[in-house]
Structure 1
Amino acid sequence: MTKEPDRLPARKLKSLQTRMKLLAAGSDIFIKEGFQKATISQIIKKAETGYGTAYVHFKNKDDILIVLMDDVMNRFYDIAEFSFEPNTKVEAYGIIEKQVSAFLEMANEERKILKVVEEAIGVSEEVRKKWQTIRERFIERISRDVAFAQKNGLARRDVDCTLVARGWFYANEMYLWDIVRNDRDLLVNDVVHNLTAMYTGGLYIQ
């Protein structure tokens, strides 16, 4: 007979529920007010919890947004974790095109909260540092893909895999923010094709 998993103690469950309420309230307030205008008081009021209880979970609004950022960017990172073991340049193109498309489509889907993130990066040192950590995580993952392609004779070996990865992520990031701002009438499919063609055309040799 399979043993049922232990349930969370009532106190811990209540604490988790409070934390989730604060995060949901934070998301709503940030999207409605923007990062700078949003206040921790508004978030606490929306979550219908006490100040003392709220500060057990988060020290300020920056802290709340950072957790929301992590949640969103982990879904982006799942895209970076697509299996990458191509045998040919054509296979590499297909995988990379799929990654870029999924990355930018998610930017479209998460536009509201990402607008808040972009604003916060410009005014909050905590959020800016968090974004830099997120960047480096993506760059490290991309550099492993480049190194794989180099090792297997698919990509040029006269370039540094980390520098290439950094440039590739920055290009994707630039279009991510363009899509979030929605002020250039960009078609995601056009961006995907041009980014992928330039990247693979310059890096891959067969």
Structure 2
Amino acid sequence: MRSQQTRQKLLEAAKEVFQEEGFHKATISQIIKRAKTGYGTAYVHFTGKDDLLIVLMEDVMASFYSIAELPFTPATREEAEQLIQHQTLSFLQLAESEHQMLQVLGEAIGVSLSAQAKWTEIRERFISRIAQDIGYSQSRKLARGALDAELVARGWFYSHEMYLWDIVHRRHQSTLEEIAKTLTAIYTGGLYA
């Protein structure tokens, strides 16, 4: 119990320090000091700031995964479009609400090999889930069966990823609703029969 509390204190301290300093400037010493724990104790739980960041990445992405893993069993094209637009808007809204931590993750992806590897793993998990949903729609003759589900899923995720980073860095000029509506129209217009 005490070990779990120490681990949680370190994670909370890391999140605060990363958000204040950015990933590059943050140090393990700052995190340990903020958590009010010793170096030896900290290194029992984490190998360094990259390790702390990976756990925080997984925590943030768990919310995104919950959106991606919503049941997707539409009976009609219209129902599929509604579900897709809802998921897309939820994804974009979550990017907006988590923008501070996602800024840290974006910075880390640019400088940390372990963060890059974790992001690749995250990306592939989303693509796999999207491909599964496309496969479902193709099996029900709602979507074009001649299209490669994984290629379509990859393109769909990359468009979301681009907007995720635009939202995180406050570079988008349209509302989230308009972005979601447009992305959904392009996607469903090309995929669904």
TM-score by structure 2 length?
0.99
Q: 1:129 aligns with which of 108, 113, 117?
A: 117
Provide the residue aligned with 1:98 in structure 2.
Answer: 86
2:178 matched to 1:187? no
- 1:58 Cα shift? 0.5
Q: Partner amino acid for 2:27?
A: T
1:29-66 superposed Cα distances (whole Å, 9 cap, x missing partner): 00000000000000000000000000000001010010
2:26 matched to 1:17? no
Distance in 2 between residues matched to 1:185 and 1:175, nearest whole Å: 11
Q: Partner amino acid for 2:31?
A: I
- 1:185 Cα shift? 2.7
Provide the residue aligned with 1:162 in structure 2.
Answer: 150
User: In 1, are the aligned partners of 2:163 and 2:172 still within 8 Å (CA)?
Assistant: no
Q: How many residues align?
A: 193
1:114-170 superposed Cα distances (whole Å, 9 cap, x missing partner): 000000000000000000000111111100000000010000011100111111001
1:1-20 superposed Cα distances (whole Å, 9 cap, x missing partner): xxxxxxxxxxxx11000000
Provide the residue aligned with 1:41 in structure 2.
Answer: 29
User: In 1, are the aligned partners of 2:50 and 2:115 still within 8 Å (CA)?
Assistant: yes
Q: Partner amino acid for 1:187?
A: T
Q: 2:49 aligns with which of 61, 64, 74?
A: 61
- 1:190 Cα shift? 1.0
Larger fraction in helix:
2
User: In 1, are the aligned partners of 2:103 and 2:168 still within 8 Å (CA)?
Assistant: yes
Provide the residue aligned with 1:5 in structure 2.
Answer: none
- 1:183 Cα shift? 2.4
Q: 2:135 aligns with which of 124, 147, 161?
A: 147
TM-score by structure 1 length?
0.93
Larger radius of gyration: 1
Q: Partner amino acid for 2:56?
A: L
Distance in 2 between residues matched to 1:180 and 1:65, nearest whole Å: 17
Distance in 2 between residues matched to 1:201 and 1:159, nearest whole Å: 13
- 1:93 Cα shift? 0.3
Aligned-partner SS, 1:157: coil
Structure 1 unpaired stretches of 5+: 1-12
- 1:186 Cα shift? 3.2
Instruction: Provide runs of 4+ in structure 1 moved above 3 Å.
Output: none
Q: Partner amino acid for 1:17?
A: Q
